[in-house]
Structure formats: C-alpha cells, structure tokens
C-alpha cells in the first residue's frame, strides 16, 4: 500500500466533540503533516441520525431553513437539504433530543409534529424523492405528531385531537388518514435508519429506546400500551397493513416515527446505504486508494448498521483498503477485520485522559492521522 497518494476520508461525527466535516478537516491536516502532496477527498457521512443534513450539505446539497415546532411545541429553526429533486430531511432537526431545553426530558409528551412540517417543507421545495433520516429523537409518539402535521386526524372520543406525545395516544378513539397531503402519493419516500426494531414489544421503541429519552419503567409500560392501542385504532382505520407495518423492521426507529413513515408509503432502507448512494460515495470510492472512516466510538453498535461499517462494507466489495479513526475503540482486531477494517486508531491511544480527548479532539486527531500517514502513505 506504500506509494498511495489518493485518500478518501468518509467518517461520521465524533458525537459531542467534532462534526463529520471537522473530522475530515483534521484528518486531512494530519495526513499532510507527513505527506504534504497527498490527494485527499472528503466525503463526510451519516447514517440517517443527527448530522445527516450536514453531510448532505458538505456533499453539495443546498441548505434550506424553516421554522417548525420543536418536540414540546416551541418554534425552532430546522434545516433540510435539497439537490435537484432530491431532499434530505433529518427528523432530529425538528424533533431531536438536542431540541429539548437543557435538562428537560419529556418521554410521554414530546411530539414529532415538527418533523411532519419539515417533510411538508421538502414537498414545497419540489422534492420528488425524500430521504427521511431518523434517529436521535426526543419522541416516542409512533409518528403521530408527524401524521397530524401532514393532515391526518387523530381524535379522542369527544372528537378533539389527542394530546401530543406517545402518552396522549392512550386516548385515541378514531384515526382518519384520508386528508393526508396528496403530494405524498407522488414522491418516493425512503426511511433511512440504522435500527430495525418493530414498533412495540420487548424489542420495540419504548422498551429499547424509551429509557434514553427519560422514560421510567412505568413510562415504558404506558408508552408500549399506548402505541399498541394506536396501531390497533389505525388498523381499524386503514386495514391490516397497519398491523403489518407495526411489526416491520424500522417501525420502531426514532420513537416509532418509522411506523408513521411506513403508513405514508415510505420504504425502509439501512440509513448508511441510502446516504452513501445519495452522497455519491461510489464514484468517490473509485478514485481512492485508501479509505479512512470512523466515528466517536467504534464498538459493538458500529457493526450493526453504523456509518463506518457501511463504508467498510462498500469499500471491501471493490477491494479498497480501509482504516478507521475513533475516540475510543472497543472492538478487537478480529472483529474489525470481519467488518472490513484493516486497522483502527483511537484518540485514547494518543491521549489516555478521556476528558482531554473530548476537549482536544481536533489536535489529537491530527496527531493520529499523521500516524496513519506514516503507516500507510509515507
């Protein structure tokens, strides 16, 4: 591999310290400390979760901003990305944990209404294909808020709209999806997610992801019951497909917004696969001799649909060598090898103090990238 001169940096963010764009910048700077004339192409990647719009913008999409409802109903400025007739919409921009006020968690009442408004804004922008990246949500409402924003009527037994959030779905008496935005029938909607959980049950959205959003064991039970009831009412409204969707892979993504997306015609695909297609990864890969991927923590979760695993799998099919950078490494070399990663370089190897690694991630990553250059390029 020595003599390589063309490097593709296709890494995800280091959550809490560096964006995917900053990771690419620091890796490039570190490589050039050792090999000043190295050709580096940056293609920041994301798996559908937070950072997906930023990755699309870095790849040449145009950033659009719109005011929408945050998870608790307060207005927030959310972004989506457009190139031609393709839009990339990230639910976390409207309904993500980062949109909650500091220290506030609202597992029962946070809503995806703003995500529906974002989808509507993408339709207004002329999108014919919408990649809907879901992850990092503050919500467990089964996509009910999103459906309401798109025209669905979800009513209690007095004919009033049910309260926002998953908890409010316990009061659902009737559902009418006949007034959904008619443009939804004319677009290709792709549900991009790195999780394949069903809506409810032991592997469902409340049980697996509710606690991360502040749900107590009692809240998890209440949410699972409310979402089960929601799916039953929808089955009465739209037929047996509603029950099939509830059990489908991806229905439980982002607090069940995956279920809502499937109800409006979305097709589920692993987030990283979709994003690599949308970002033009294949053509960039053709030009590269060495691929550098990575994310904040390379661990067991990485192997289940996270960005580095997707990048490595795609690179391996065309025989390209892959190394990874990360904040912390929790995978043995044989696991990395099976994933198609030749070697991983962790910031904690260069700086054992984890707090310092997070605070000084940029400069330390440059030092780590210089090591990669010495090992693979010099």
pLDDT (tens place) for every residue of the chain, 378 residues total? 455 589 999 999 999 899 999 999 999 999 999 999 999 999 999 999 889 999 999 999 999 999 999 999 999 999 999 999 999 999 999 999 999 998 899 999 999 999 999 999 999 999 999 999 999 999 999 999 999 999 999 999 999 999 999 999 999 999 999 999 999 999 999 999 988 999 999 999 999 999 999 999 999 999 999 999 999 999 999 999 999 999 999 999 999 999 999 999 999 999 999 999 999 999 999 999 999 999 999 999 899 889 999 999 999 999 999 999 999 999 999 999 999 999 999 999 999 999 999 999 999 999 999 999 999 998
Q: Which residues pair with 40 in a beta bridge?
A: 7
Terminus-to-terminus CA distance in the chain, angstroms? 10
What is the spatial distance between Cα 365 and Cα 363, in angstroms, rounded to a whole number?
Answer: 5
Dihedral angle of Cα 31, 1, 277, 250, to the nearest 10 degrees: -90
CA angle 35, 36, 37 (to 5 degrees): 95
Determine the pLDDT at residue 21: 95
Q: Which residues neighbour 58 within 8 Å (Cβ) at sequence distance 6 or greater? A: 20, 21, 24, 42, 43, 44
Q: Do you know the residue count of the chain?
A: 378
Q: What span, in angstroms and rounded, lies between the C-alpha atoms of 265 and 86?
A: 17
Per-residue pLDDT at 1: 45
Rounded to whole angstroms, how far apart are CA atoms 188 and 127? 9
Question: Tokens 């409802």 label which residue?
Answer: 69
> How confident is the model at residue 369, as a pLDDT?
98
pLDDT of residue 49: 87
Read off the pTM.
0.93
For the chain, list the domains and their CATH numbers.
6-43+280-376 (3.40.50.10350), 52-272 (3.90.1510.10)
Coil, helix or strand at residue 258: helix
Q: What is the DSSP string of 209-243?
A: HGGGGT--HHHHHHHHHHHHHHHHHHHHHH-THHH
Of residues 13, 81, 10, the one with CA closest to residue 43 = 10
């Amino acid at each position: 591999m020595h003599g390589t001169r063309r490097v593709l940096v296709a890494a995800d963010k280091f959550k809490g310290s560096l964006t995917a764009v900053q990771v690419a910048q620091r890796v490039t700077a570190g490589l050039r400390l050792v090999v000043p004339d190295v050709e580096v192409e940056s293609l920041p990647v994301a798996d559908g979760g937070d950072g997906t719009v930023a990755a699309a913008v870095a790849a040449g999409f145009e950033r659009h901003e719109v005011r929408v409802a945050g998870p608790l109903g307060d207005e927030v400025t959310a972004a989506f990305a457009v190139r031609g007739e393709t839009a990339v919409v990230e639910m976390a921009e409207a309904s993500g944990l980062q949109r909650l006020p500091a220290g506030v968690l609202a597992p029962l009442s946070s809503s995806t209404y703003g995500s529906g408004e974002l989808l509507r804004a993408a339709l207004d922008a002329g999108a014919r294909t919408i990649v809907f990246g879901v992850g990092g949500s503050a919500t467990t409402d089964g996509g009910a808020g999103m459906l309401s924003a798109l025209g669905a009527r979800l009513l209690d037994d007095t004919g009033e709209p049910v309260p926002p959030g998953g908890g409010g779905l316990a009061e659902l008496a009737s559902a009418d999806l006949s007034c959904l935005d008619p443009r939804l029938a004319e677009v290709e909607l792709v549900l991009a997610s790195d999780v394949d959980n069903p809506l409810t049950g032991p592997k469902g959205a409340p049980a697996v992801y509710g606690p991360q959003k502040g749900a107590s064991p009692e809240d998890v039970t209440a949410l699972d019951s409310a979402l089960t009831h929601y799916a039953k009412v929808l089955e009465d409204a739209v037929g047996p497909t509603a029950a099939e969707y509830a059990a489908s892979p991806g229905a439980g993504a982002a607090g069940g917004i995956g279920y809502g997306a499937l109800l409006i015609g979305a097709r589920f695909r692993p987030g990283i696969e979709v994003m690599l297609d949308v970002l033009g990864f294949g053509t960039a890969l053709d030009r590269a001799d060495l691929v550098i991927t990575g994310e904040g923590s390379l661990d067991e979760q990485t192997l289940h649909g996270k960005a580095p695993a997707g990048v490595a799998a795609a690179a391996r099919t065309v025989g390209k060598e892959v190394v990874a950078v990360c904040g912390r490494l929790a995978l043995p070399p044989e696991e990395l090898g099976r994933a198609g990663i030749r070697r991983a370089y962790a910031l904690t190897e260069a700086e054992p103090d984890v707090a310092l690694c997070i605070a000084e991630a940029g400069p330390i990553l440059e030092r780590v990238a210089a090591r990669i250059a010495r090992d693979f390029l010099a």
